[in-house]
Structure 1
Amino acid sequence: MPATLAYYLHDLNPEVIRFSKSLAIHWYGLAYVLGFYCCYLVMVRLARRGYGELKAEQVGDFITYAALFGVVAGGRLGYMLLYNFSEFIRNPLIIFKLWDGGMASHGGIAGLALFTLYWSWRHKISWTGLGDNLVVGAPLGILFGRIANFINGELYGRPTDVAWAMKFPTELHQMDIRPSDWGLQAAGDVFPQHSPDIIALVNQAPDGMQKLEAALHPVHPSQLYEGFAEGAVLFTVLYLVRTQVKNLPNGILTGIFFILYAIARIVCETFREPDSSLIIGITKGQFYSLFMILIGLAFIAWAYFVNRKKIPT
């Protein structure tokens, strides 16, 4: 067997269950639901232990509105402005076509920050104190989102020969290969959107799988790297700091979140295939993360020079 066949060939179905031709539950949507629910559980636990001014019975309303007006609206608008601006200008209504995909984590984080600012003003509680609880649970949503990216076969990594490298059939969308080149018939002479459908089509040709395996490059499963670093590790660090460090000024934890998330994103994106043009030689994700470090430092400076004075000694 050729060495190229030793790598795992991604064939995961992005749908959890399909009810009809036009109705299905997708892993990506389920990831959002699980992320919001887990963040809710974390914030309730912190509230009951006396962290922050938001009461446990208020967390449900906060998470519901934060999910809708912060993560979803911010994430979608961020994607349009940061990654798809030219098409957004031509047709602004595409911002409502959520079913076509396209969410930016930087936009979601910015949306959450702005919504949290509004909520704290509306309910007369500390913005940074509310944010410190929110950022503890937020990485769990990032974790589930990256797992969903992996299941969808999107945002895969750069070519590599490491033993755990994988092959993603969706890479064909970036190649100058048409189904008819392999003697296959497909609508519009383009490959289907998802890995299982691509593999099913390719299997119609006697030597289709051999051609597929030969065409695909083994790449880093960078979605899993990001899920681990930006999600699991970041959650663990923030939860331990929140619960183990006493008399922490409001805003310190929010600043730590921005800085550590940005560092994790910058590092992990060195393994990720750029999905858009570069800026000054680095990916857009890395470039935008540089500003998150500055924002994080600003939160910490504010906490140290202003909020520290409010802690009883």
Structure 2
Amino acid sequence: MIAMLPFPNISPEIFSVSLFGMEFALRWYALAYIVGIVLGWRLVVAAVRTPRLWTGLKPVMTPAQIEDLLFWVILGVILGGRLGYVLFYQASYYLANPLRILQLWEGGMSFHGGAIGVILAAYLFTKVHKLRTISTGDMVVLGLAPGLFLGRIANFINAELWGRPTDLPWGVAFPTQAAQFCPEVAGICARHPSQLYEAALEGLVLGGLLVWMAWRRGALKREGLLVGTFLAGYGAARFIVEFVRQPDAQFVSEGNPLGLALQSGGYGLTMGQLLCIPMILVGVYFILRARRTT
């Protein structure tokens, strides 16, 4: 018998109420977004309230300006994440059903799209308020890790974005019908808990590294270093996890069981890996740029 872990009995809904004949529910996924944003905001405020972390003891902005920026970032996350999912993963479906793009409660968000949305929102904010764009970016990425960590934990609770089948002892028997559709496995199908891998790498490891660099290594005094570390670090972590993460169903076919978006001779890359490559390259550029300007 293959060792595996049972899926914890946690409902995706924390609680629900009925009002005026309609059901309203607070889901773990929504709570993860809310708590992640609040924790990230407080971490960034702590950074700007610590002048020694900044060149000339002058933070890039004030706590009041951070509150204004937060609204822009939330819009960037929601709009960018949704449009990124639509364009990168389900373009043909949403072109045929454009009204479903607005149905956010059905799920479907892309990290890469959300990242682009945050970048654009922060860029526009700095131009409107005449702030240093790259230094603002360093500050913003410092606050992203809590949301990444909690978001992946919520993915796990929702039993979504699970990994490929595995016989490793920490494989998890996800309860959904799609997760248990494993023609090559006899009996219960255990899968990599890839959401937890990403929570650890993108949230705990990368987030801890950024905080250590900011508070202990003076990284906020080296413009672009935290931006580059985040982009390269997230890109590398996601690229690695993609090897054990189940691809989106629309990429899987009889001749392409691994769901590779780009392949040749039996080898290739998933859509997630393709989107990570430019992140890694841009991240390395910013790291090298920061090193040259010190």
TM-score (ref. length: structure 2): 0.85
- Corresponding position of 1:14: 12
- Corresponding position of 2:44: 43
Q: Kindly report which structure 2 residues correspond to 1:1-313, keeping only aligned pairs within 5 A, or say none.
A: 3=1, 7-20=5-18, 22-50=23-51, 51=54, 52-68=59-75, 70-172=76-178, 175=181, 215-246=187-218, 248-276=221-249, 277=251, 278-280=260-262, 281-304=268-291, 308=293
In the alignment, structure 2 segments of 5+ residues that lack a partner are 252-259, 263-267
Q: How many Å separate the matches in 1 of 2:106 and 2:62? A: 37
Quick check: which one's helix share is greater? 1
Equivalent pairs: percent with the same residue? Answer: 38
Shift of 1:300: 3.0
Shift of 1:272: 1.2
Q: How many Å separate the matches in 2 of 1:233 and 1:16? A: 28
Answer with 243-252 or 157-166: which moved more. 243-252
Contact 1:171 1:216 in 2 (8 A): no
Answer with 30-39 or 241-250: which moved more. 241-250
Question: Could you say what secondary structure the match of 1:25 adopts?
Answer: strand
Question: How many equivalent pairs are there?
Answer: 269
In the alignment, structure 1 segments of 5+ residues that lack a partner are 178-212
Shift of 1:152: 0.1
Letter in 2 for 1:8: P
Q: How many Å separate the matches in 2 of 1:223 and 1:172? A: 16
Shift of 1:250: 1.1
Shift of 1:249: 2.1
Letter in 2 for 1:235: G
Residue 168 to residue 23, structure 1, CA distance change in 2 (3 Å): same
Contact 2:138 2:226 in 1 (8 A): yes
Question: Could you say what secondary structure the match of 2:17 adopts?
Answer: strand
Shift of 1:93: 2.4
Contact 2:148 2:199 in 1 (8 A): yes
- Once the two structures are superposed, residues 50-93 of structure 1 have per-residue CA deviations (whole angstroms, 9 ceiling, x without a partner) of 2431111222221122112x111100010001011111222222
Letter in 2 for 1:30: L
Contact 1:31 1:144 in 2 (8 A): yes
Q: How many Å separate the matches in 2 of 1:129 and 1:225? A: 30
Extract structure 1 runs of 4+ deviating beyond 6 A. Answer: none
What is the root-mean-square deviation in Å for CA atoms of aligned residues? Answer: 2.2
Shift of 1:8: 1.0
> Radius of gyration: which is bigger?
1
Shift of 1:243: 1.5
TM-score (ref. length: structure 1): 0.80
Q: How many Å separate the matches in 1 of 2:180 and 2:5? A: 20
